[in-house]
Amino acid sequence: MKYMMGLYKLKIIFYSKNMNEIILQKKNLRKILTAKRSLINKNITQEFNIAGFNKLIASIEFSKVECIGSFMSIRSEISTYQLNKAIIKMKKKISISNNSR
Is the same domain home to 33 and 54? Answer: no
Residues 80, 93 share a domain: yes
Q: Both 56 and 90 in a single domain?
A: yes
The amino acid at residue 92 is K
**Do 54 and 101 sit in the same domain of this protein?**
yes
Domain check: are 62 and 34 in the same one? no
What are the φ and ψ backbone dihedral angles of 78, each rounded to 5 degrees? -65, 135
How many domains does one find in the chain? 2
Distance (Å, rounded) from C-alpha 84 to C-alpha 87? Answer: 5
- How far is residue 11 from each of residues 15, 18, 22, 33, 84, measured CA to CA in Å? 6, 10, 16, 32, 46
Find the domain containing 72 and state its range. 46-101
Cα separation, 54 vs 61, whole angstroms: 12
37, 58: one domain = no
Looking at the structure, tell me whether residues 22 and 52 fall in a common domain.
Answer: no
Model-level pTM greater than 0.75?
no
Give which of 35, 26, 37 is closest to 79, Cα–Cα.
Answer: 37
In tens digits, the chain (101 residues) has pLDDT values of 555 556 666 666 666 667 778 888 888 999 998 888 777 766 665 567 888 888 988 999 888 999 999 988 876 677 888 889 999 999 999 998 876 55
